[in-house]
Structure 1
Amino acid sequence: MSAREYARVLDLATAALHERHPDRLWPLIAAEVPRICGGDDLFIRKSEEWSAKAGTVRLWTPDSPGGGCVDDAAGLALRQGYPWADYARATADRAPVTASQVAGGRTWRMSTTAHLMRTAFGTDHVLGLPLPRASGPFNGYLLYRAGSPFTAAHLARARRLQPVLDSIERQHELLVQWRQTTRSVDAPADPDDRAADYGLTPREISVLSLLGQSLTATAMGRRLGISPRTVHKHLENLYRKMGTTDRVATVLRARACHLLPRSSPTRP
């Protein structure tokens, strides 16, 4: 990865981990990931199991930075999961891979799905970039490219990007959960406003959320994809900003200030 490409990955990680609003993460990713991995300005995030009849397929393009729904024909082809569904069931390998590698070049080109992708998006090639944690169904990102295929260099960049995307996904999950569990009718302000009053960063909010679940620093690190040492640095910042000196006092203060729910949420 060149210095310029590395800087792009670093900029993406920095911007994403400082974004307070979870739904604003995907336009950030959609703008940068295709450029880093050699895709066109098309991007699909798959975060749930699709069936042939159910599952919203949302496509990000420069013309729809908030994401737009794919039409019925292309959406049906994508939800059927060719060729990713069988591949995900057949192997535990979560390395980035192209549709041509999974199905075979000629088989992919002649497939109904490839035809619909050419018709709907004007693209010939698809790069699947799964999340490392994903098991069972393929969950991750689909990137599209017209003309020449994705190269070995594109796949290498995608592999290096995987841990960053995994960290962003973990952050998103925790921020969404935190927002849902801290909103209440008796709360004096929006959760984000209350966090801003204490100067908490989105990463510190995630650590605080896990602290409220009584997780150890090691367990927090696993959930966030960071080291226990980094978790302790975030805890030190939390103690300083909230005027506390230990875990218990911090959780009690956060609950009193409506930064954590009154009772701990059930761990997923």
Structure 2
Amino acid sequence: MDPVADLAAQLHGLGDRDSYLRAAGELMCRLFPSEMIGWHQLDGAARTAEIVPYPDIPLEGFAQRLVDTADENPFFRSYVTDLTVGMWQPRRLSDLVTDLELHRTRTYSEGLRPLSIDRQIALLSERKGAVSVRAWVISRLHRDFTDDEVELTCRLQPLLRLLETAYGDSRQLPEDASCSEAYSLTAREHEILQLLGRGLTGVAIGHLLGISPRTVAKHLEHAYAKLGCTNRIDALRHLRGE
């Protein structure tokens, strides 16, 4: 199976953010054997950060180090100065700085070296404002990422952005099956309404689920009829019990 389609097939339908991050980290580690894969969230304005690593290793203090060294972080500097609208290419650390330049930064001395890491690639999954980003960062020691691996990250990035919208936050509709049963919704109809409620468009839902936008529209048409409404706002209100 195509690795992008396989990732989508195994990750969609997860119930919460933590389940998604753990599963995504595990699957990406199979695609890119590495010392560590981490989901990073950094808000330069609020000066807050979060790192969710796979495998689950103690990273006490490293989120704060990410904040403190943001101005020297080659990835962060590259992304916040990129004015591209809608899509951002994955970055390989070695394409941004030389080893000498990297070793002179606090990012390396306080962040990478203590973890025995010197090769990374970052895939931006969300950008909010000028200095707030979420990204998956794959880390290795002494083994750089090949051009083929860079190409694969380019193919994965659009999917990771969809998954971020679907599962990266706590927003979700009730998972209780009785909600669907009350309106005789099928599992697929309820799933599509959940993704709709998380902000995905019909086209994005189709891409994530591996079905056509027309099929998504048909499922929504049937769901709306069962719910006695004609639009997604009223449908989501029904399911939320509003």
Q: Does 1:17 align with 2:12?
A: yes
Cα distance, 1:171 vs. partner? 1.4
Equivalence for 1:92: 83
Cα distance in 2 for partners of 1:243, 1:28 equals 35
Per-residue CA distance 1:18-60 (angstroms, 9 max, x = gap): 2233431111110122332x35141221244146963233322
| Equivalent residue for 1:221, pick from 202, 210, 215 | 202
Cα distance in 1 for partners of 2:46, 2:165 equals 27
| Equivalent residue for 1:199, pick from 186, 190, 195 | 186
Equivalent residue of 2:226, what SS? coil
Matches within 5 A, 1:1-268: 6=2, 8-36=3-31, 38-50=32-44, 54-61=48-55, 64=56, 70-72=59-61, 74-79=62-67, 80-81=69-70, 82-93=73-84, 94-131=88-125, 136-137=130-131, 138-172=133-167, 176-179=170-173, 191-195=175-179, 197=181, 198-201=185-188, 203-207=191-195, 209=197, 220-221=201-202, 224=205, 226=207, 230-240=212-222, 244=226, 247-248=229-230, 255-256=237-238, 259-262=239-242
Letter in structure 1 aligned against 2:194: S
Letter in structure 2 aligned against 1:84: F
Cα distance, 1:150 vs. partner? 1.5
Aligned residues of 2:120 and 2:137 also touching (Cα < 8 A): yes
User: How many residues get paired?
Assistant: 229
Cα distance in 2 for partners of 1:250, 1:116 equals 48
Aligned residues of 1:12 and 1:28 also touching (Cα < 8 A): no
The structure-2 alpha-carbon separation of the partners of 1:10 and 1:102, relative to structure 1 and needing over 3 Å to count, comes to: same
Cα distance in 2 for partners of 1:9, 1:222 equals 17
Cα distance, 1:250 vs. partner? 7.9
Letter in structure 1 aligned against 2:92: T
Aligned residues of 1:220 and 1:231 also touching (Cα < 8 A): no
Letter in structure 1 aligned against 2:40: K
Structure 2: tracts of 5 or more residues without a match: none
Cα distance, 1:162 vs. partner? 0.6
Cα distance in 1 for partners of 2:81, 2:19 equals 34
Letter in structure 2 aligned against 1:97: R
Cα distance in 2 for partners of 1:249, 1:78 equals 43
Equivalent residue of 1:57, what SS? strand
Equivalence for 1:184: none
Cα distance, 1:14 vs. partner? 0.9
Cα distance in 2 for partners of 1:223, 1:101 equals 31
Cα distance in 1 for partners of 2:5, 2:111 equals 31
Equivalence for 1:265: none
Equivalent residue of 2:240, what SS? coil
Per-residue CA distance 1:241-265 (angstroms, 9 max, x = gap): 6763975288657645xx1352xxx
Percent of aligned positions that are identical: 14
Letter in structure 1 aligned against 2:186: G
Equivalent residue of 1:248, what SS? coil
Higher strand share: 2
Per-residue CA distance 1:36-89 (angstroms, 9 max, x = gap): 2x351412212441469632333221xx2xxx66222x3333223212222123
Per-residue CA distance 1:117-159 (angstroms, 9 max, x = gap): 4543222212111137666334211110112211212111100
Higher alpha-carbon deviation: 197-206 or 78-87: 197-206
TM-score (norm 1): 0.68
